[in-house]
Chains A and B, each alone.
Chain A
Amino acid sequence: GENVEQHPSTLSVQEGDSAVIKCTYSDSASNYFPWYKQELGKGPQLIIDIRSNVGEKKDQRIAVTLNKTAKHFSLHITETQPEDSAVYFCAAGDFGNEKLTFGTGTRLTIIP
């Protein structure tokens, strides 16, 4: 089955700086890679996703890059703001399959 590793487990960034979270996956058949944000006391919420037919996707301050050869993908948050503080999860799966495997999460803290 799929195995997703996520690093770092915690990340503190000065407000306004950039944050990068990295994930690797094991199953070369995986072709769908979403990122979820979980705020305190809430359920995870999708913030961005990417499919294997593209190498990069951007949505305002958030971008995701994918390297299929190396089987890793990353989340980039630029110009970080206090409201970016949360736990972020990457996930990998087969688009069209019902099962996503989640990474272990990264607790991001933005320092004002």
Chain B
Amino acid sequence: DTAVSQTPKYLVTQMGNDKSIKCEQNLGHDTMYWYKQDSKKFLKIMFSYNNKELIINETVPNRFSPKSPDKAHLNLHINSLELGDSAVYFCASSQLYGGNTIYFGEGSWLTVV
């Protein structure tokens, strides 16, 4: 019973394609996030949602569009993929805004060729 699960774990796709990563949490948390980890291991927040409402939208190209159908799900859709989008994308959740443990999924390894 994985707490934060995301699919797919690995994704290899060509430049210009559109792809989605799905995320679900079964912890009953109100807040969900998307983080990006690049090849140097830098971990940076992209988006956060609280009860399906967008709270944080960091300087992310609008090719990236998160969607939260309910508070247990936060999906990430990426249009017109570029080489620089290659990274590990982590979904995460927490009980309240900040200051509480953020639980990360296992990551989705995206490679754009």
- Chain A residues with Cβ below 8 Å from B90 are 43-44
The listed residue (B4, B42, B45, B102) touching A105 by CB distance below 8 A is B42
Please state if B41 and A87 are interface contacts (CB–CB under 8 Å).
Answer: yes
Residues of B near A93 (CB, < 8 A) are 98-99
Q: Which residues of B contact A94 (CB under 8 A)?
A: 98-99
> Could you tell me if A32 and B98 are in contact, using CB atoms closer than 8 angstroms?
yes
**Residue B92 CB within 8 A of the other chain:** yes
Q: Would you call B48 an interface residue if the criterion is a C-beta within 8 Å of the partner chain's C-beta atoms?
A: yes
- Asked if residues A99 and B101 are in contact (CB atoms below 8 Å), the reply is no
| B98 cross-chain contacts in A, Cβ below 8 A | 32, 93-100
A102 located at the interface, meaning its Cβ lies under 8 Å from any Cβ of chain B in the complex:
yes
Number of interface residues of A (CB under 8 A): 26
Q: A43-B90, A99-B56 are in contact. Are A32 and B104 (CB under 8 A)?
A: no
User: Does chain B have a CB within 8 A of A73?
Assistant: no
Residues of A within 8 A of B104 (CB): 36, 43-45
Please name all residues of chain B whose beta carbon is closer than 8 Å to the beta carbon of A104 when the two chains form the complex: 40-42
Assembled-state Cα–Cα distance A44/B106 (Å): 8
Q: A89-B43, A102-B43, A104-B42 given as contacts; is B107 within 8 A of A95 (CB)?
A: no
Q: Are B41 and A98 in contact (CB under 8 A)?
A: no
User: B31 interface residue, CB < 8 Å from A?
Assistant: yes
CA–CA, A96 and B4, complex, Å: 22
B99 touches which one: A87, A97, A102, A107 (CB < 8 A)? A97
The answer to whether A46 has its CB under 8 Å from any CB of chain B is: yes
A42 at the B interface (CB under 8 A)? yes
Q: Which residues in B have some Cβ–Cβ distance to A below 8 Å? A: 4, 31, 40-45, 48, 50, 55-56, 90, 92, 96-99, 101-102, 104-107
28 A-B pairs (CB sep. < 8 Å)? A32-B98, A36-B104, A41-B107, A42-B106, A42-B107, A43-B90, A43-B92, A43-B107, A44-B90, A46-B102, A49-B101, A89-B43, A93-B98, A93-B99, A94-B98, A96-B98, A96-B99, A98-B31, A98-B48, A98-B98, A100-B98, A102-B42, A102-B44, A104-B40, A104-B41, A104-B42, A105-B41, A105-B42
